[in-house]
Amino acid sequence: METELSRRLGIEHAIFGFTPFPAVAAAITRAGGLGVLGAVRYTAPDDLKRDLDWMQDHTDGRPYGLDVVMPAKKVEGVTEADVEAMIPERHRAFVTETLAAHGVPELAEGDTSGWRITGWMEQVARNQLDVAFDYPVALLANALGSPPPDVVARAHDHGALVAALAGSAKHARRHAEAGIDVVVAQGYEAGGHTGEIASMVLTPEVVDAVDPVPVLAAGGIGSGEQIAAGLALGAQGVWLGSLWLTTTEASLGSRALTRKLLAAGSGDTVRSRALTGKPARQLRTAWTDAWDDPAGPGTLPMPLQGLLVAEAVSRIQRYEVGPLLGTPVGQIVGRMNAERSVREVFDDLTRGFERAVDRIDRIAGRSTS
């Protein structure tokens, strides 16, 4: 599964694996792909430094990347407290009522609510980059599109390629004009923030729109045959995220959540604004249903929604409240029906890719077997 882009980065397979878990990212890199560590949860620079130190020790000198969540336009002087003050009391009351209806306990005194969605903020993301550029990061990806021009320039000075996610050809053209090196065409089927266009349509549109900028196909990919399809559509690799959630190296912190993922079918996800305020594909739960119910107050725009529900999500996960328990995940969850190591996943992907290539060779009359 080598392409021009994979050879440029020095990786064996053109598989780019996004994950919030350092152990998964490192395993992806060791297996011959490019592990890309999600940075949004690292609000403390020392925590990111700790995990990048660990990755340095566990990637055998092979390349890896970092994914940040950074707005393209700089916003000055806005603090988390300023944003918190914008949240209406009606929405706070709705959170309280929904948790009470499902018997979700309060956090113990002195217990923290865990991750808060603040990595979108300008200074938080820049602090992450101050740490990251002390390491040989080969790829810097931005989940909110093109990062600010000075960040692109800084990454290039560091020797890193810059990638940005796009949900339409229009968005992809903007990335190319901004000097982005790799465009991730993320289809409707993908987990997390995603647009309205399915991967089979989106990938070739983006490839044509930004040629010769390399494109990664993303969304609904979880087999080697699907990787072959993405490359056949003109992509130079694939971007996989959901598939790693049920690997043995993942640290979801909840066996109940792992069981829900393993039991879920491809129709058990929904695009909802319940988590961040922007449409994000995730497991459908009583929590997403409550926020999508017209009788409720409706979700707030990003980042207000993420700040509003951060503690609630922590409580749901901490106490494993089944009806409310969920996570961002794509429609490929229907194929995620067993816990496997990252290496086992890679072996399955490469075998499937070979099967697909052999099948096409036979159809084209090129097979010698």
The string of pLDDT tens digits covering residues 227-240 is 999 999 999 999 99
Closest CA to 142 of 198, 180, 177, 188: 180
Q: Which residues of the chain have pLDDT under 70?
A: 71-80, 112-122, 368-369
The SS3 call for residue 154 is helix
What is the model's pLDDT at position 313?
92
Dihedral over Cα of 348, 350, 353, 359: its sign: negative
Strand ranges across the sheet with 269-272: 192-193, 280-283, 269-272
Strands 237-240 and 161-166: unpaired
Strands 280-283 and 269-272: antiparallel
Question: What tokens does 200 get?
Answer: 């089979």
User: How buried is residue 46: exposed, middle or buried, by Cβ count under 10 Å (0-12/13-18/19+)?
Assistant: exposed
Number of H helices, E strands in the chain: 14, 11
What is the model's pLDDT at position 246?
97
What is the model's pLDDT at position 108?
83
**Whole-angstrom distance, CA of residue 84 vs CA of residue 272:** 21
Distance between start and end Cα atoms, the chain: 21
Q: Name every residue whose Cβ is closer than 8 Å to that of residue 10 and which is 6 or more positions away in sequence.
A: 62, 63, 138
CA distance to 22, 75, 304, 347, per residue, from 86 (Å)? 34, 16, 7, 49
Question: What tokens does 306 get?
Answer: 């993420």
Strands 34-38 and 15-19: parallel
Question: Given the structure tokens 């011959």, which residue do they identify?
Answer: 32
Q: Are 280 and 273 in contact (CB under 8 A)?
A: yes
**Whole-angstrom distance, CA of residue 125 vs CA of residue 130:** 9
Closest CA to 266 of 190, 167, 187, 338: 190
pTM of this prediction exceeds 0.75:
yes
Q: What are phi and psi for residue 84, nearest 5 degrees?
A: -55, -40
Q: Name every residue whose Cβ is closer than 8 Å to that of residue 68 and which is 6 or more positions away in sequence.
A: 39, 40, 119, 125, 128, 129, 140, 141, 142, 143, 147
What is the model's pLDDT at position 77?
56
What is the model's pLDDT at position 114?
58
The SS3 call for residue 142 is strand
Question: Given the structure tokens 């089979």, which residue do they identify?
Answer: 200
What is the model's pLDDT at position 292?
94
Question: Given the structure tokens 């209406």, which residue do they identify?
Answer: 88
CA distance to 82, 113, 288, 309, 312, per residue, from 298 (Å)? 21, 23, 11, 13, 16
Provide the H-helix boundaries in the chain: 4-9, 22-30, 45-58, 80-84, 89-101, 122-132, 149-158, 169-177, 199-210, 224-232, 255-263, 286-292, 304-318, 342-363
What is the model's pLDDT at position 73?
58
Question: What tokens does 311 get?
Answer: 């503690």
Dihedral over Cα of 150, 152, 156, 159: its sign: positive
Amino acid at site 50: R
